[in-house]
Amino acid sequence: MSRRPAFTETQVPAKTVTARAVMASPAFALGLEDARKGIAFDWRNDSWDYERGRHFANLAPVHMPLRIGGQLNPKALALFEAAHARKLII
């Protein structure tokens, strides 16, 4: 019978963030851009927002911009919030 190794690490403290804060982060934009360009996951980027951006790229239409006139696209924000509510993006 094999034994699982004991984990000694503890969970990092969680904090509440808004969808707007996540989507406004440079890491989110980079993850979205990388995924849309077909660039492999950047393992050096340990930001949750980078991963969320990559997930969002698989849900959002390719023609949907993240920003319009320097502001977050309201339709993109609504889509992200709907995806989060359905646990498609955490």
E strand spans, the chain? 67-68, 71-72
What is the number of other CB atoms lying within 10 angstroms of the CB of residue 79?
Answer: 18
- Flag whether pLDDT at 1 surpasses 60: no
Contact between 28 and 20 under an 8 Å Cβ cutoff? The reply is no
Is position 49 within any domain? yes
The total domain count for the chain is 1
Is position 63 within any domain? yes
Q: pLDDT by residue (tens digit) across 10-63?
A: 767 778 899 999 999 999 999 999 999 999 988 888 889 999 999 999 999 999
- Rounded Cα gap, residues 39 and 89, in angstroms: 20
> Which two three-digit tokens encode residue 23?
């989507």
Is position 12 within any domain? no
Whole-model pTM over 0.85: no
Alpha helices in the chain (DSSP H): 19-24, 26-37, 48-59, 74-85
pLDDT of residue 46: 83
Better pLDDT: 78 or 16: 78
8 confidence band (pLDDT: 50, 70, 90): low
Is position 13 within any domain? no
Is position 58 within any domain? yes
Is position 4 within any domain? no
Contact between 80 and 56 under an 8 Å Cβ cutoff? The reply is yes
